[in-house]
């Protein structure tokens, strides 16, 4: 029998409860008030008392209110029907929630994450007599363009024999599709839906592999200079207004993955509304259909309860791990992990824990590491591979990258895409600063990149040196002026500015330039490098400036032209004439 209890105290969304039986960490409990039942999660147990964080507005909770413990951990429902959904941090489908409660969401209202009425075309893959265990495949249903695999629950213990198997047909997620019998003779009904605790990583795979395949985003500065691997992690820190959310939206549209999960964990409501309005109308560049067909949005804005904001990031990564089990490549975009960390700080303060730097909890870095470590490229028991890539944004106050959340994130991720005010104010978008950004994946993916161009990594290193050299010359010019700079140094500066202008910067509002395949990036980069290597003979600095200005215009026009089109050929011919002259 599950424990019951009563409220002893309430402080914000932290409630102290006295209970009468066994209670465990992360167990779900409901605070029963006159207005309804409010969901909470046990976050600390002390003797016969526990602290629970409530996922709702706690106004009206009184001392003595009843508390009902469920015996279950905080879980998500996994099964067909997740794609195209817009959930809150507790996996309530927000469109249905708004239909049930009206324009303003009411507290204490919870809706099943997976529709119990929709029927799915189930095709069995296992048969009567098969011995199965956790994570084994029972069958599949079509979901969009994917074959959604139906598994034996991942928390299934031991092995069991299938004694009944549903025939091909239409079933809901709660209909029995198989009956299994263990060695003791006990039988268990299995359906297409299962539940998994969000705070526990889903590790039902054979082996964790080193990420070696590039995650192509179509963004030149990322793919060429600071790439992210499939199954890898990246951090996009930047001050408010520097373009983090826009960059994430661009990545989500064009990234070469199967499933996209957007976790708005505390983002401003206006930015979330923009995402909700745009995604259903965006065309998937790989299928020509709506992008929403392979997207899940987890939506907890900064105006929603803090505890639900903290849960949203775990809900998102658990759904990502589930689709990875099907051999799919998943990309999770978390925006913004700073607000998730602020939720941890707020709860830590209410628990009166010893604070760390800037009042964040002392365990902040370990929590950040636990989250990013759930990304990965794995080989499944079936022999297939799947991946979860995580790109998280950080919003450091004042653009201070030395603050705890940024530093804790940089310690665990594989790529750092730092956005700065300087580039944003100069309208150099994406505002990823090449002087501070880095990626650990370049050497790791050498074999894959060598297939594109054997000299790729060496060429990137050469271009990066050009950027750094040009910046050093610019610093000197800021002190001594152009007059005190030699013509040779001035040309190096102009080459660096040219590289930045035509390759690192990209027009997200241009249909062609918004997305570049890796083949096109290699082609364009080689052209740029030819110009970098060319000896420029000019008589004065004005002539040099005018020369690079005209070249930049040609390259930008070529960037905006479809590959192999007449326009592309025209601009390429003019560029080739210059290179050959």
Binding residues for ATP: 238-245
Using alpha carbons, select from 506, 495, 505, 504 the residue that is nearest to residue 548: 495
CA distance 555 to 167: 60
> Measuring CA to CA, how many Å separate 459 from each of 15, 304, 495, 527?
58, 47, 15, 12
> Measuring CA to CA, how many Å separate 182 from each of 160, 424, 485?
4, 62, 82
> Locate tokens 């995650």: which residue?
215
CA distance 374 to 104: 34
The answer to whether the CB of 212 falls within 8 A of the CB of 444 is yes
Question: At a CB cut-off of 8 Å and minimum separation 6, what does 167 contact?
Answer: 124
Phi, psi of 574 (to 5 degrees): -65, -40
Sheet holding 120-124, edge to edge: 146-151, 137-143, 120-124, 169-171
CA neighbours closer than 13 Å in the CB half-sphere of residue 460: 24
CA distance 378 to 386: 6
CA distance 241 to 264: 16
Q: 3-class SS at 538?
A: coil
The answer to whether the CB of 228 falls within 8 A of the CB of 300 is no
CA distance 477 to 493: 10
The binding site comprises 238-245
Phi, psi of 104 (to 5 degrees): -100, 125
Handedness of CA 266, 271, 272, 275 (dihedral sign): negative
CA distance 17 to 338: 29
The Cα angle at residue 31 between residues 349 and 355, in degrees rounded to 5: 10
Three-state SS across 505-527? CCCCCCCCCCCCCHHHHHHHHHH
CA distance 516 to 223: 9
Record the tokens describing residue 493, joined without a space.
């500066």
Three-state SS across 124-181? ECCCCCCEECCCCEEEEEEECCEEEEEECCCCCCCCEEEEEECCCEEECCCCEEEEEE
């Amino acid at each position: 029998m599950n424990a019951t209890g009563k409220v002893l105290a309430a402080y914000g969304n932290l409630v102290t409860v006295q209970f009468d039986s066994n209670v465990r960490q992360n167990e779900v409990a409901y605070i029963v008030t006159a207005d309804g039942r409010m969901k909470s999660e046990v976050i600390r147990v002390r003797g016969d008392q526990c602290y629970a964080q409530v996922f709702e507005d706690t106004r009206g909770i009184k001392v003595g209110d009843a508390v009902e413990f469920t015996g279950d951990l905080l879980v998500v429902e996994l099964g067909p029907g997740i794609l195209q959904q817009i959930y809150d941090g507790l996996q309530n489908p927000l469109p249905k929630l708004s239909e049930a409660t009206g324009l303003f969401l009411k507290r204490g209202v919870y809706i099943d994450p997976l529709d119990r009425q929709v029927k799915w075309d189930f095709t069995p893959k296992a048969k009567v007599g098969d011995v199965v265990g956790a994570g084994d495949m029972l069958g599949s249903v079509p979901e969009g363009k994917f074959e959604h695999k139906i598994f034996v629950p991942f928390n299934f213990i031991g092995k069991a024999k299938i004694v009944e198997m549903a025939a091909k047909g239409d079933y809901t997620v709660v209909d029995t599709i198989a009956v299994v019998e263990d060695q003791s003779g006990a039988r268990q009904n299995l359906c297409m839906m299962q539940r998994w605790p969000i705070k526990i990583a889903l590790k039902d795979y054979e082996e964790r592999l080193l990420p070696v395949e590039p995650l192509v985003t179509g963004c030149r500065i990322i793919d060429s200079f600071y790439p992210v691997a499939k199954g890898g992690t990246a951090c996009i820190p930047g001050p408010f207004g520097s373009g983090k959310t826009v960059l994430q939206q661009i990545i989500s549209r064009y990234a070469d993955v199967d499933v996209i999960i957007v976790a708005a964990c505390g983002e401003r409501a206006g930015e979330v509304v923009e995402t909700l309005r745009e995604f259903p109308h965006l065309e998937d560049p790989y299928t020509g259909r709506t992008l929403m067909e392979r997207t899940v949005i987890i939506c907890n804005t900064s105006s929603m309860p803090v505890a639900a904001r903290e849960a949203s990031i775990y809900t998102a990564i658990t759904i990502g791990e589930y689709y990875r089990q099907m051999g799919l490549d998943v990309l999770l975009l978390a925006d913004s992990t700073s607000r998730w960390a602020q939720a941890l700080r707020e709860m830590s303060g209410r628990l009166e824990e010893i604070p760390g730097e800037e009042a964040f909890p002392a365990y902040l870095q370990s929590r950040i590491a636990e989250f990013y470590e759930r990304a990965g490229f794995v080989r499944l028991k079936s022999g297939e591979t799947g991946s979860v890539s995580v790109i998280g944004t950080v919003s450091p106050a004042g653009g201070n990258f030395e603050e705890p959340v940024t530093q804790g994130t940089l310690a665990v991720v594989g790529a750092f895409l730092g956005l700065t005010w300087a580039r944003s104010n100069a309208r150099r978008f994406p505002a990823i600063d090449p002087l501070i950004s880095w990626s650990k994946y370049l050497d790791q993916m050498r074999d894959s990149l060598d297939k594109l161009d054997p000299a790729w990594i060496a060429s990137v290193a050469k271009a990066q040196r050009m950027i750094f050299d040009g910046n050093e010359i610019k610093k000197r010019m800021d002190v001594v002026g152009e007059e005190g700079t030699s013509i040779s140094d001035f040309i190096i500066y102009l080459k660096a500015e040219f590289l930045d202008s035509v390759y690192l910067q990209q027009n997200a509002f241009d249909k062609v330039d918004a997305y570049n395949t890796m083949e096109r990036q290699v082609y364009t980069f080689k052209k740029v490098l030819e110009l970098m290597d060319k000896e420029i003979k000019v008589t004065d600095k004005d002539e040099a400036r005018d020369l690079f200005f005209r070249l930049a215009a040609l390259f930008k026009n070529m960037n905006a032209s479809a590959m192999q089109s007449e326009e592309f050929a025209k601009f390429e011919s003019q560029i080739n004439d210059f290179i050959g002259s």
